[in-house]
C-alpha cells in the first residue's frame, strides 16, 4: 500500500526497513516526548519493529498501518507515521494517528503533512468516524499540529507518561468526520 501527499511518498514498513525504523526509535532527540524511551539495543528493537510490519496491505497484529515516509523530490527517508485502529464496524470506527520525523526535517511542515495524510487515510480509506491523537503535555509543537488539523482538545490525563525519571501529563485531541469534512470544504 502506498500513499502520496504534496511532498511525501508513504509505503508500509517492510522487513528490510529495519535500519530506517531504528534511525527513528533509537534517536533520543526524536523520542524526547514519545510514550516510550529510545531503544538502543538491536535485540530489543527487532521484536518492536516486527510488531509494526503489515502483510499484504492489511493492518499488522496491533491493528495499525505503519508507514515509512520519504521526500518525493529526492527519496530521502524523513520518518514514521501510523494510524492505530481502536474500533471499527459497519458504521465507522475510531483511529489514533502518530508521527515521528528525523530532526533535519523539523520545522518544515512535514509533521503536519504526515498527520494530515493519516487523518485523510483514516476517514477516506478506513471509513472512520473519529480520528484522535495524543502528545506529551510538554510537546507544544505536536499540540500545535493537532490544532492546525482542526482537532479539538478533549482532555488532559495527569501524570501518565513516565519519561527520564518523572511523570508527565498527556493531552488528547480528536476530530469527527463531519468536522473534518466541514474544514476541508472551507479550504
As a whole number, the mean pLDDT across the chain is 94
- Residue 187: band (very low, low, confident or very high) from pLDDT cuts 50, 70, 90: low
Superfamily of segment(s) 2-133:
Gcn5-related N-acetyltransferase (GNAT) (3.40.630.30)
> Tens digit of pLDDT for each residue in 99-113?
999 999 999 999 999
Domain boundaries, the chain: 2-133
Please give the full DSSP string across the chain, using - where no structure is assigned.
Answer: -EEE-SSEEEEE--GGGHHHHHHHHT-TTGGGGSSS-----HHHHHHHHHTT--BTTB--TTSEEEEEEEETTT--EEEEEEEEEEEEETTEEEEEEEEEE-GGGTTTTHHHHHHHHHHHIIIIIS--SEEEEEEETT-HHHHHHHHHTT-EEEEEEEEEEEETTEEEEEEEEEEEHHHHHHHHHT-
Mean pLDDT on 138-161: 97
Q: Is the pTM of this model over 0.75?
A: yes
> Tens digit of pLDDT for each residue in 28-54?
999 999 988 899 999 999 998 988 887
Amino acid at each position: 500500500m502506498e500513499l502520496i501527499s504534496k511532498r511525501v511518498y508513504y509505503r508500509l514498513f517492510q522487513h528490510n526497513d529495519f535500519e530506517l525504523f531504528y534511525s527513528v526509535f533509537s534517536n533520543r532527540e526524536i523520542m524526547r516526548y514519545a510514550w516510550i524511551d529510545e531503544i538502543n539495543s538491536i535485540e530489543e528493537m527487532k521484536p518492536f519493529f516486527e510488531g509494526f510490519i503489515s502483510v499484504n496491505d492489511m493492518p499488522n497484529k496491533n491493528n495499525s498501518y505503519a508507514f515509512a515516509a520519504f521526500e518525493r523530490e529526492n527519496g530521502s527517508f524523513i520518518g514514521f507515521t501510523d494510524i492505530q485502529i481502536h474500533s471499527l464496524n459497519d458504521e465507522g470506527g475510531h483511529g489514533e494517528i502518530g508521527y515521528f520525523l528525523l530532526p533535519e526535517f523539523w520545522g518544515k511542515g512535514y509533521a503536519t503533512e504526515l498527520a494530515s495524510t493519516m487523518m485523510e487515510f483514516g476517514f477516506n480509506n478506513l471509513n472512520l468516524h473519529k480520528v484522535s491523537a495524543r502528545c506529551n503535555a510538554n510537546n507544544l509543537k505536536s499540540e500545535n499540529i493537532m490544532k492546525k488539523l482542526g482537532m479539538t482538545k478533549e482532555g488532559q490525563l495527569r501524570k501518565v507518561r513516565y519519561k527520564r525519571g518523572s511523570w508527565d501529563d498527556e493531552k488528547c485531541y480528536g476530530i469527527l468526520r463531519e468536522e473534518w469534512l466541514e474544514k476541508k470544504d472551507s479550504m
